Structure 1
């Protein structure tokens, strides 16, 4: 996968304000274990039912950074796609996401700046009950097609 040549994502000129992407992700045990193992994060709020039951969350929650990873991945894969780079993000986590939870993400392009070569994407996430669990904005530099032409 690391050596596989990828086509660049969409050029900034091909994008439009109002463009949307919807992505639904279910958080499985394997996802949590991979994240926690990779980061060596042993926060009991993420993995220990007895500890989490004594908190205001009542059961283990998904680390917020995992949800950011899903957002980053969607930008890298789909909107704008391969070659994109996140410049800034401002995400507010409104409600916890629990183990085995499903989050429906909605991405919408709300601003295109040709001079700065960046787009602003609004992100919303809702759980299976339709409650908003996160909201925010991400500023992204879309892929530079010339860089792909030179290196691949």
Structure 2
């Protein structure tokens, strides 16, 4: 497991297949409300306990993309970190996430293309030992650091 690079981001030449980073985030009522506001997704399965109680989930669940955004936080702040630009992302959701769950977002370098400066990342989300989502991201990574101004 690696931490953030001292400069804020790893450059292409510092990455290797197998490097892994993760972040844990608590899904709170406030996060769900803020995500609903930011995304304009006020689906009652996320916002209304009485409605959600009558669904197959038997209660409110967090937005899937809220949980997925925690993976984005790993990519943007730890691995590769500052300077990485998302090009694509696939996602599969396996289990719902509820208020007060702790989501562990894990990102692992799966492949590096030195020609295009593109890195393929395996992305997973867990609540405890349960896989809640997984997918693959492709990001462009800087080849060198920006000189200090």
How far did 1:144 drift? Answer: 4.7
Structure 2, unmatched stretches of 5+, are 1-6
Q: Which residue of 1 aligns with 2:138?
A: 139
Offset from partner CA, 1:44-63 (integer Å, 9 cap, x none): 01011111111111111110
Structure-1 separation of matches of 2:59 and 2:91: 23
TM-score where L is the length of structure 1: 0.87
Deviating beyond 6 angstroms after TM superposition, the runs of 4 or more aligned structure 1 residues are none
CA RMSD of aligned residues (A): 1.8
Q: Which residue of 2 aligns with 1:69?
A: 69
| Conservation of the 8 A alpha-carbon contact between 1:82 and 1:143 | no
Structure 1, unmatched stretches of 5+, are 1-6
Secondary structure of the residue aligned to 2:42 is: coil
How many residues align? The count is 144
2:78 maps to 1:78: yes
Offset from partner CA, 1:14-67 (integer Å, 9 cap, x none): 001011112211111121111112233221010111111111111111101112
Q: How does 1:70-149 map to 2 (within 5 A)?
A: 70-128=70-128, 130-145=129-144, 148-149=146-147
Q: Which residue of 1 aligns with 2:35?
A: 35
